[in-house]
C-alpha cells in the first residue's frame, strides 16, 4: 500500500472514531436532557392531594431563584432548582408579580407560577358588626391580620378623611364614622387605606344617597350619626329602631334628658349588665342622665338601618321605652305608663 493510501485509511479511521465519539456525546446529552426533563416533571408535581393554603410574599424585584427558594421553604415545591428551570424554560420567570399570594400544596409547579404571574393577590376578610366602638374595630382589624390595633387607631384620625369623602370630617374623632360592613382587603392595604375605605362606604351608602334629606333635617350630619349610634346600642329588634329614634327626638324637642343607658356604658368605658344608681351619676358629657341633649359625638358605629332610623324616625307620641326580656321594647307616652310597663315586665 502506498504512503498516500495509508494516510487516507488512517484519516477515515480517525473520522469514524470522532464521529462515534460525537454520536456518543449527543446520545448522552439527549439522554441527559430527557432524564433532566423527567426529573423536573416529577419535582413539579403537586406536593399533596390535600392541604391548607398558605400565604407567600413575593417581594418587589425578587428574582426567580429567590421565589423558587421561598416556595421550597414553604413546602410548596420539592426542588427549588427544578422550579427555577421551569421558570426559565417557560418564560414565566419574567412574568412573576410582587404581592402576597394564597397558594396551596395541591397546586403543581406550573399552577403556582401561573398564580403568581397573574397578580391575583391574597385578600383578607374584615367583618365589622354594628355597634362596635373604634377600639373594638381596631381589635377586629388586628384579628384579621391586616394591621396592629394601635397602628389602626393611629391612622383613624379625622385628618385622614380630608379630600376622601363628600362630608366634612368630624372635629375630634372618627367614632361612628366607619361603616360596619364586611370588607375584603389585600395584605398590601395600609391602616390608612382601611380607614378611608370604611369612611367612603358611609359616604357611598348613606351620606350620598340621602344628601337632600340630611340637608333638610333639623339635625346636622354629626347629630344624625350620634343619634343613630344611640339607636344602634339601644335597639335589639329591627322594627324598634325607628320608634326608639322617634322617642329620642321627642325628648330632645321637649328639652328632656335622653336618659339613654348606652351613653352611660360609653362613659364608664365598660359594658355592665345592669347599671347602678352610682353609675348613672358618672361625671361625663356622654352621661345623658346628667346632661340634656345629645352626647358630644357617636358612642359606637351605627349600621345603615340605624342611620336611616335616625334620619327618618317614626312619628310617635311616646316619650319612654323599656326593654322586654326578648330585647323588644314597650313604648309609652307618660311616666306613669312607663312605670306600669316596667312592673308588668318584671312581673312576667
Phi and psi of 150, rounded to 5°?
Answer: -65, -35
Domains: count for the chain: 3
106 and 168 part of one domain: no
258 and 323 part of one domain: yes
- Out of 102, 118, 134, a domain closes at 118
Structural domain includes residue 169: yes
Structural domain includes residue 31: no
230 and 324 part of one domain: yes
158 and 99 part of one domain: no
pLDDT in tens, 67-85: 999 999 989 988 888 888 8
202 and 292 part of one domain: no
Express as a percent the part of the chain with pLDDT over 70: 88
112 and 130 part of one domain: no
196 and 224 part of one domain: no
189 and 293 part of one domain: no
Successive 10-residue mean pLDDT values, the chain, 348 residues: 58 58 52 53 80 89 89 89 86 90 90 90 93 96 94 94 92 94 93 96 96 95 97 93 96 94 88 80 91 95 97 95 90 92 82
Q: In three state form, how does the secondary structure of the chain look?
A: CCHHHHHHHHHHHHHHHHHHHHHHHHHHHHHHHHHHHHHHHHHCCCCCCCCCCEEEEECCCCCHHHHHHHHHHCCCCCCHHHHHHHHHHHCHHHCCCCEEEEECCCCCHHHHHHHHHHCCCCEEEEECCCCCCHHHHHHHHHHCCCCCHHHHHHHCCHHHHCCCCCCCCCCCCCCCCCCCCEEEEECCCCHHHHHHHHHHHHHHHHHCCCHHHHHHCCCCHHHHHHHHHHHHHHCCCHHHHHHHHHHHHHHHHCCCCCCCHHHHHHHHCCCCCCCCCCHHHCCCCCCCCCCCCCCCCCCCCCCHHHHHHHHCCCCCCCCEEEECCCCCEEEECCHHHHHHHHHHHHHC
Structural domain includes residue 18: no
Structural domain includes residue 33: no
Structural domain includes residue 213: no
Give the position of cell 446529552: 29
Q: At what angle do helices 304-311 and 241-253 cross, to 10 degrees?
A: 40
201 and 280 part of one domain: no
Q: Residue 77 and residue 80: Cα distance in Å, rounded?
A: 7
pLDDT in tens, 97-148: 999 999 999 998 888 989 999 988 998 899 999 999 999 999 999 999 899 9
pLDDT at 13: 58
pLDDT at 32: 47
Structural domain includes residue 11: no
pLDDT at 79: 86
pLDDT in tens, 37-72: 555 677 788 888 888 888 999 988 888 889 999 999
- Out of 207, 231, 253, a domain closes at 207
243 and 170 part of one domain: no
Structural domain includes residue 299: yes
pLDDT at 93: 86
Specify which residues 55 forms β-bridges with.
102
Task: Determine contact, residues 274/347, Cβ cutoff 8 Å.
Answer: no
148 and 257 part of one domain: no
263 and 315 part of one domain: yes
* Domain span including residue 147: 123-207
pTM of the full structure: 0.79
Structural domain includes residue 330: yes
**Cα 80 to chain centroid, rounded:** 33
- CATH code, domain with 76: 3.30.1490.480
Amino acid at each position: 500500500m502506498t504512503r498516500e493510501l495509508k494516510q487516507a485509511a488512517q484519516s477515515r479511521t480517525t473520522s469514524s472514531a470522532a464521529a462515534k465519539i460525537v454520536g456518543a456525546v449527543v446520545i448522552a446529552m439527549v439522554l441527559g436532557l430527557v432524564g433532566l426533563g423527567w426529573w423536573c416533571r416529577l419535582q413539579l408535581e403537586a406536593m399533596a392531594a390535600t392541604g391548607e393554603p398558605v400565604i407567600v410574599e413575593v417581594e418587589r424585584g425578587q428574582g426567580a431563584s429567590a421565589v423558587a427558594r421561598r416556595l421550597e421553604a414553604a413546602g410548596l415545591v420539592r426542588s427549588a432548582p427544578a422550579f427555577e428551570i421551569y421558570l426559565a424554560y417557560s418564560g414565566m420567570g419574567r412574568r412573576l408579580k410582587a404581592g402576597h399570594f394564597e397558594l396551596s400544596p395541591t397546586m403543581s409547579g406550573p399552577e403556582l407560577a401561573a398564580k403568581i404571574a397573574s397578580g391575583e393577590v391574597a385578600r383578607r376578610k374584615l367583618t365589622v358588626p354594628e355597634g362596635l366602638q373604634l377600639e373594638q374595630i381596631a381589635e377586629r382589624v388586628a384579628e384579621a391580620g391586616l394591621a396592629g390595633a394601635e397602628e389602626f387607631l393611629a391612622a383613624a384620625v379625622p385628618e385622614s378623611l380630608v379630600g376622601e369623602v363628600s362630608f366634612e370630617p368630624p372635629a375630634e374623632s372618627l367614632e361612628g364614622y366607619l361603616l360596619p360592613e364586611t370588607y375584603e382587603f389585600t395584605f398590601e392595604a395600609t391602616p390608612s387605606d382601611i380607614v378611608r375605605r370604611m369612611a367612603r362606604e358611609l359616604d357611598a351608602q348613606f351620606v350620598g344617597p340621602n344628601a337632600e334629606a340630611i340637608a333638610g333635617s333639623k339635625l346636622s350630619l354629626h347629630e344624625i350619626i350620634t343619634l343613630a349610634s344611640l339607636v344602634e346600642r339601644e335597639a335589639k329588634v329591627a322594627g324598634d329602631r325607628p320608634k326608639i329614634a322617634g322617642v329620642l327626638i321627642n325628648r330632645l324637642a321637649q328639652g328632656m334628658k335622653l336618659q339613654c343607658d348606652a351613653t352611660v356604658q360609653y362613659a364608664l368605658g365598660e359594658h355592665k349588665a345592669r347599671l347602678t344608681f352610682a353609675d348613672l351619676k358618672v361625671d361625663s358629657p356622654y352621661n345623658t342622665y346628667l346632661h340634656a341633649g345629645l352626647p358630644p359625638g357617636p358612642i359606637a358605629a351605627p349600621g345603615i338601618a340605624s342611620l336611616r332610623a335616625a334620619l327618618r324616625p317614626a312619628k310617635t307620641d311616646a316619650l319612654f321605652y323599656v326593654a322586654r326580656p326578648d330585647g323588644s321594647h314597650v313604648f309609652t307616652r307618660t311616666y306613669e305608663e312607663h312605670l306600669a310597663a316596667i312592673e308588668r315586665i318584671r312581673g312576667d
